[in-house]
Structure 1
Amino acid sequence: MASDASSAGPVPDGGQVPFQVSVDPEHARLAISGEFDREHAHHVLAALTALAGTGHRRWAIDTAQVVFCDAAGLRALVTAHHLARRHGCELVVERPSPCLHRLVLLVGLDQVLDIRAAGSAAPPAAGGHRLQPSTGPLRAGHPVRTVPAGD
């Protein structure tokens, strides 16, 4: 039996993407959809505490439907990792959405979390190197100004 925690968050086009956490205690699995942010991260942690009593040695979080993730979402994943370890379990983040996978790689959490990408997710960084953003001041070829040292 699966249970859900839902709320809605805005998306850039003005529509609503519902946030949802589905819990499958029989398979020790969560599925997250929508915006995984400060307003919703606590729902994921509450759902994970429900897995603590299942007796499973492996917990899985399917994040294929996550459309946005902020620092609170990342913090929730790290907290989930530690919670699983305290219960003698491993946590696997399955099918990360492209936005979540990219963020995990950029901040280096791929060195902490067990990320299992699927065909629709961004591929792991080649050679263990982090990917650079395609836009913004860190992208390749962007001119960098030097600032003279003060007298």
Structure 2
Amino acid sequence: MSLTIEQHDTAAGPVLYLAGDLDYEQAPHLRRHLDTLALHAGHCLLLDLSDLDFCDSSGITALLAAHRLAQIAAADFALTAVPPRTLRLLTVVGLDQVFTIRTPTTAHP
């Protein structure tokens, strides 16, 4: 399945809604999208994974790239609505201790 990325810019920073598979074939799509972001100090880059179907090690590497982009911009980084299988993967590799993982408060618009 392909990956779709829907971006909403908010006063707090960009929110990216990811849907589909974040795998070897699709991770470069996210990385290219990250290259186009206008992220500033004090912003928060939020990735909403509520419609993510699958994530492999290439997807994890893309999430790390997003985290690094936020660090470089002196911005915060968070994931929300992380599916159970993806959360388990993040926990196994210890990234649940690196990434801020938020409980979703609102549905995707």
TM superposition score normalised by structure 2: 0.82
Query: 1:58 is matched with which residue?
Result: 44
Report if the CA contact (8 A) 1:30-1:47 is conserved. no
Please, which runs of 5 or more residues in structure 2 have no aligned partner?
none
Q: What CA deviation, in whole Å up to 9, does each residue of 1:58-88 have, x standing for no partner?
A: 1100001111110000011111111110011
Runs of 4+ in 1 over 4 A off after TM superposition: none
Shift of 1:107: 1.2
Q: CA deviation at 1:117?
A: 3.1
Q: Is the 8 A contact 2:39 2:70 kept in 1?
A: no
- Match of 2:65? 79
C-alpha deviation, 1:33, in angstroms: 0.7
Candidates 87, 91, 98, aligned match of 2:77: 91
Considering only aligned residues, what root-mean-square deviation do their CA atoms show, in Å? 1.8
Higher RCO (CA 8 Å, separation ≥ 6 residues): 2
Give per-residue Cα distances to partners, 1:16-35, cap 9 Å, x unaligned: xx421112234511010111
| Partner SS state of residue 30, structure 2 | helix
What is the DSSP-based 3-state SS (H/G/I as helix, E as strand, rest coil) of the residue aligned with 2:48?
Answer: strand
Give the counterpart letter for 2:54 in structure 1. Answer: F
1:30 aligns with 2:2: no
Rg larger in structure? 1
Superposition TM-score, scaled by structure 1 size: 0.61
Residue type at the aligned position of 1:58: C
CA contact (8 A) 1:62 1:94 kept: yes
Q: Give matches, 1:1-151, under 5 Å.
A: 9=1, 18-26=2-10, 27-51=13-37, 53-55=38-40, 57-118=43-104
Q: Distance in 1 between matches of 2:39 and 2:8?
A: 10
| 3-state SS of paired residue (2:24) | coil
**Does structure 2 conserve the Cα–Cα contact (< 8 Å) formed by 1:23 and 1:47?**
no
CA displacement at 1:108 relative to structure 2: 0.8
Aligned residue pair count: 102
Structure with higher strand content: 2
The sequence identity of aligned pairs, in percent, is 29
Name the amino acid aligned to 1:115. I
Q: Would the aligned equivalents of 2:49 and 2:80 in 1 still touch at CA under 8 Å?
A: yes
**C-alpha contact 2:45 2:70 (8 A) present in aligned 1:** yes
